[in-house]
Structure 1
Amino acid sequence: MSSAKNETWEWTKALFVALLLAVLIRYFLFAPIVVDGESMMPTLHDQDRLIVNKIGYTIGSPERFDIIVFHATSEKDYIKRIIGLPGESIRYENDILYVDGEPIDEPYLDFYKQQVTDGGSLTYDFTLEEVTGEYVVPEGHYFVLGDNRRHSKDSRNIGNVPKEEFVGKANIVFWPLSDIRIAK
């Protein structure tokens, strides 16, 4: 009887430790996120499931073109791509991104630019000042855009995103299984 009780106790402890580790990993290190909508197509699709690295930005800094998840409202998280870093001026002209006056290539948009057949551009012309009222991205903030520029609610609508609203960096698409890949 005593050995059965001991074995039950050992299993209970093991399950408790496993559950505690799962909660700690989920809360502090990594989290699953489901893409809701088409604002990041063709890079990410509606209902893709991602692993978000929540600790990466405590060690390193966000970089241009990182795909991030952030708290857009108290009820909703958005997933977008970092375009502008603190202290930079941003503008789009003729579908070309200019950072501090220098053109920057965005190869992840090539597919969508080829799909534009109405004579317009994928990303309409704007300056950072026109859409946010700021001449440069403020310190501690980031300018983010969805890859599906014509159908994305992003910094052009909600303004620059404070770093403290970041959930983390989207690292891996793990669902659907046929499309497992690193999110870039």
Structure 2
Amino acid sequence: MIGLAVVVVVVVLLVVLLVVLRRRYVVARVWGHSMSPTFHDGERVVATRRRHYGVGDVIVFRPRPTADDVAWRIKRIAAIAGDPVPGWLPADDPVVPAGRVVVVGDNTGHSEDSRQLGYIDVASVAGVVAHRPAPTGG
């Protein structure tokens, strides 16, 4: 009977650990060349959830909460709430609104970013890219 109790405790602890890790980290795959040369097509990154984001942070986010756009996007923050709107982004207000960020790809010639998507809602941000797992053999 002790053996079964140990197995149950281990399983419960593993489930709790997985839930905690999923709330803290997101693994995303880079699609395309918009973040070259920093990140490459097919590379996987780990993002850490945060409450606050800063200019220069590379974030993982979903641009829209729609069923047909489920892929994570990876871009660099160019401006945060309260910052002046970058000159390359058409906007009605002179500053980025509360709860929003402006994002841009490192390879601007091949990036769909705030120039096309507009402001990104901070609530749609999964986290800041904190770690790049080592590539697998190939």
- TM-score tier, shorter chain, comes to 0.7 to 0.9
Q: Tell me whether 1:166 sits opposite 2:125 in the alignment.
A: yes
Distance 1:175 1:157 in 2: 32
When the two structures are aligned, how many residues end up with a matched partner? 132
Q: CA RMSD in A?
A: 1.8
Which residue identity is paired with 1:72?
A: P
TM-fit CA distance, 1:41: 0.8
Structure 2 gaps, min length 5: none
TM-score (norm 1): 0.65
> What letter corresponds to residue 132 of structure 2 in structure 1?
V
The letter of the residue matching 2:108 is R
Partner of 1:152: 111
Counterpart check, 1:86 vs 2:81: yes
Q: Give the distance between the partners of 1:10 and 1:89, measured in 2 at CA.
A: 57
> Structure 1 segments of 4 or more deviating over 2 A?
132-136
Identity over aligned residues, as a percent? Answer: 29
- Give, as a single letter, the amino acid of the residue that structure 1 aligns with 2:5: W
User: Amino acid of the residue matched to residue 22 of structure 1?
Assistant: L
Give the structure 1 partner of residue 134 of structure 2: 175
Q: What code does the residue aligned with 2:7 have? A: W
Cα deviations across residues 82-103 of structure 1 (Å, max 9, x unaligned)?
A: 0012231312xxxxxxxxxxxx
Matched, 1:40 2:31: no
Higher helix share: 1
Q: Which residue of 2 aligns with 1:17?
A: 13
Q: What 5-or-longer segments of structure 1 have no aligned partner?
A: 92-125, 179-184
Query: Which digits, 9 at most, give the CA deviation of each residue in 1:10-51, with x for residues without a partner?
Result: 12321221122112221x211211112211111011111111
Structure 1 residue 63 corresponds to structure 2 residue 58? no
Higher Cα Rg, which structure? 1
